[in-house]
Chain A
Amino acid sequence: MITRHDLRHAGLTGLWFMFLTFPLVVIKINPIEHTVHWRWSNMVWIGVVSFLASLTIRLVQGRRRTGENEKQQSLLQTSVRQFDLLRRPAFFRAALITSSVLLISFPLFFSSYQVNILTTALMYVVLGLGLNIVVGMAGLLDLGYVAFYAVGAYTYALLHLHFNLGFWMVLPIGGLLGALFGLLLGFPVLRLRGDYLAIVTLAFGQIVRLILENWSEFSKGPSGIANIARPGLFGLTLSPEATITYLYYLMIGLVGLTVFVVNRLQNSRIGRAWQALREDEIACQAMGIDKTKIKLSAFALGATWAGMAGVFFAAKTTFVNPASFTFIESAIILCIVVLGGMGSIAGVMVGALILILLPEYLRAVADYRMLAFGAILVVMMIVRPQGLIAPKRRTYTLPSTHNPVNSSDVPASDR
Chain B
Amino acid sequence: MFPLLTVNKLSMDFGGIRAIDKFNMRINAGEIVALIGPNGAGKTTFFNCLTGIYQPTDGELLWTLPNRSSRTLNGLKPHRITEQGLARTFQNIRLFRSMTVLENVMIGRHCRTATTILGAVLRPPSVTREEKETIEISFALLERVGLADVAHERADNLPYGAQRRLEIARALATEPLLLLLDEPAAGMNPQEGQELEALIRSINNDQIAVLLIEHDMQLVMRLADHIFVLEYGRLIAEGAPEKIRNDPAVIRAYLGEEGIHHA
The judgment on whether A and B are partners is yes
* Interface contact A287-B135, CB-CB below 8 Å: no
* Interface contact B157-A393, CB-CB below 8 Å: no
Contact of B99 among A75, A393, A399 (CB under 8 A): A393
Query: Given A74-B157, A286-B82, A288-B111, do A268 and B120 touch, yes or no (CB 8 Å)?
Result: yes
> Inside 8 A of B109's CB, which chain A residues have their CB?
269
Q: For the complex, is A200 an interface residue (Cβ under 8 Å from B)?
A: no
> Inside 8 A of B108's CB, which chain A residues have their CB?
287-288
* Interface contact B120-A265, CB-CB below 8 Å: yes
> Inside 8 A of A291's CB, which chain B residues have their CB?
77-79
Segment among B147-155, B213-221, B233-241, B243-251 that sits at the interface with chain A: B147-155
* Interface contact A286-B51, CB-CB below 8 Å: yes
* Interface contact B120-A289, CB-CB below 8 Å: no
Encode B106-124 as 1/0 by CB contact (under 8 A) with A: 1111111101110011010
Q: For the complex, is A214 an interface residue (Cβ under 8 Å from B)?
A: no
Residue among B106, B111, B120 with max Cβ neighbours from chain A (10 Å): B120
Q: For the complex, is B102 an interface residue (Cβ under 8 Å from A)?
A: yes
* Interface contact B152-A269, CB-CB below 8 Å: no
Q: Give the docked Cα–Cα distance between A64 and B248 (Å).
A: 57
Q: Number of contact residues on A: which range applies?
A: 35 or more
Encode B146-189 as 1/0 by CB contact (under 8 A) with A: 00111111100101000000000010011000000000000000
Q: For the complex, is A396 an interface residue (Cβ under 8 Å from B)?
A: yes
> Inside 8 A of A285's CB, which chain B residues have their CB?
52-53, 77-79, 82
* Interface contact A272-B148, CB-CB below 8 Å: no
Q: Give the docked Cα–Cα distance between A270 and B117 (Å).
A: 7
A138: min CB distance to chain B, Å:
13
Q: Give the docked Cα–Cα distance between A396 and B173 (Å).
A: 17
> Inside 8 A of A265's CB, which chain B residues have their CB?
117, 120-121
* Interface contact B139-A288, CB-CB below 8 Å: no
- The binding surface of chain A is classed by DSSP as helix
Query: Given A78-B153, A286-B78, A287-B82, do A271 and B120 touch, yes or no (CB 8 Å)?
Result: yes
Query: Given A286-B82, A289-B79, A289-B110, do A404 and B152 touch, yes or no (CB 8 Å)?
Result: yes
Q: Give the docked Cα–Cα distance between A286 and B50 (Å).
A: 11
* A residues 273-317 in Cβ contact with B at 8 Å: 273, 275-276, 279-280, 282-291, 297, 301
Q: Give the docked Cα–Cα distance between A371 and B110 (Å).
A: 44
Minimal Cβ-Cβ distance residue in A for B87: A286
Residues of A within 8 A of B (CB): 74-75, 78, 82, 85, 261, 264-265, 268-273, 275-276, 279-280, 282-291, 297, 301, 393-396, 398-399, 402, 404-405
Residues of B within 8 A of A (CB): 51-53, 77-79, 82-83, 87-88, 90, 94-100, 102-103, 106-113, 115-117, 120-121, 123, 127, 130-132, 134-136, 139, 143, 148-154, 157, 159, 170, 173-174
